[in-house]
Amino acid sequence: MPAIQLAVPLPTPPLNVVPFVSVERMMRLVLQTGIERFLAELAETIENDFRRWNSFEKHSRLAAHSRDGVIELMPTSDGELYAVKYVNGHPYNGRSGRQTVAAFGVLSEVWTGYPVMISEMTLLTALRTAATSAMAAKYLAPQGARTMAIIGNGAQAEFQALAFKTLLGVDQFRLFDIDASASEKCARNLAKAGLSPKILRSPEEAIEHAQIITTVTADKQMATILIDNMVGPGTHINAVGGDCPGKTELHPDILRRSGIFVEFEPQTRIEGEIQQLPSDHAVVELHRVISGEYLGRTSGNEITLFDSVGFAIEDFSALRYVRHLLRDTTDYEPLDLLADPDDPRDLFGMLMRAEARL
């Protein structure tokens, strides 16, 4: 696939207008692009940004934890653009018909501080998480892997399956969830996408013959979805669900047997599976593998683990990619967000002129 050129500027809108990509507009944008193409190009954009890792300001996300969930801000900048995402994680929202994760993001110019796009990121986060998982698996999964077990069949599961199909050619999916209706939902949706997943009755059955295991559960607890004797040599584990303090999915004995790869180590030490390990346990940041500084999978028998918690650079990439897509469409809503007085120093005069028009 040719490299995506993202430097093409958008037509300059009026200074007070900011393009807004709503949920409805995002769905249209994804479907017009094609889900698999969207995932592939988004993964390429994230991978390219990981190659220039040192260009970015990097911070662990700012999190406000409560008994029911977490609300987070995830900022980063490459010196030209600044991005920040607001996102929550509330595992029990589904009981009242709400999303477990809801998010929106802002992309701004550094040189003016003006936002150049605001976007929903509930759908976009699901897409970027799946794209990042599959991008990492290109370097970490066993060569020629065709079968993936997905443990946890909620809102993220279908995106994971389609990303692994698109980027790695995985075409056999084995599903398990403690809620059978979630697996049935996932299987229906994947069937519409041309796949034939199999629903299994236990995690043990689901991971049988799977070269890749994705864990993507939602409960905010120290859970043990996989125990040590369930994971055989040569497996790649894509651990997605453990993403905040006190929330994990894997028994620590699995971690001790695995080559562990992370996004931003200081954040993952707090939020990822490795919160269960001593602070000096060796892990490798994924950007070092992508840049060629460090090997990913080193043998057919190695167990590799991508301890994915989500990092701000991935959101930066996702917003940048969406803005790239907007250059060929007007499928966004103009927000009258910024004051634009005739004289930038005369904000009060703008208010008085508005009063005269009332």
Q: What is the CATH number of the domain that holds 52?
A: 3.30.1780.10
280 shares its domain with 329: no
Instruction: Quote the number of domains for the chain.
Output: 2
Is the residue at 2 inside a domain? no
Note whether 190 and 41 are same-domain residues.
Answer: no
Residues 231 and 287 in one domain: yes
- Asked if 137 and 265 sit in the same domain, the reply is yes
Question: Which of 171, 179, 219, 243 does the annotation list as catalytic?
Answer: 243
1 lies in some domain: no
Query: For residue 336, what are its two tokens?
Result: 């009258």
**30: which DSSP letter?**
H
Do 201 and 298 reside in the same domain of the chain? yes
Same domain assignment for residues 162 and 220: yes
Give, for all 358 residues of the chain, the pLDDT tens digit: 445 555 444 555 556 789 999 999 999 999 999 999 999 999 999 999 999 999 999 999 998 988 888 899 999 999 999 999 999 988 888 889 898 889 999 999 999 999 999 999 999 999 999 999 999 999 999 999 999 999 999 999 999 999 999 999 999 999 999 999 999 999 999 999 999 999 999 999 999 999 999 999 866 666 788 988 999 999 999 999 877 788 899 999 999 999 999 999 999 999 999 999 999 999 999 999 999 999 999 999 999 999 999 999 999 999 999 999 998 887 789 899 988 878 888 999 889 988 888 8
List alpha helices for the chain, DSSP H.
23-33, 35-51, 122-140, 157-168, 180-192, 203-207, 252-257, 265-271, 286-290, 312-326, 347-357
- Same domain membership, residue 194 and residue 74: no
Domain that holds residue 93: 17-123+313-338
Distance CA 323, CA 33 (A): 13
103, 153: one domain = no
**Residue 7: its pLDDT value, please?**
46
pLDDT value of residue 219: 66
**243 is annotated as an active-site residue:** yes
Q: Are residues 324 and 297 in the same domain?
A: no
Query: What is the DSSP secondary-structure string of 260-298?
Result: EEESSHHHHHHHSGGGGS-TTS--EEHHHHHTTSS-S--
Q: Is residue 179 part of a domain?
A: yes
Asked if 107 and 175 sit in the same domain, the reply is no
Q: Is residue 356 part of a domain?
A: no
Rounded Cα distance, 299 and 235, in Å: 11
3 occurs within a structural domain: no
Residue 5 in domain:
no
169/289 same-domain check: yes
Write down the pLDDT at residue 8.
45
d(CA 167, CA 281): 30
Question: How many residues make up the chain in this entry?
Answer: 358
Find the helix or strand (DSSP H, E) in which 108 lies: strand 103-109
Residues 176 and 301 in one domain: yes
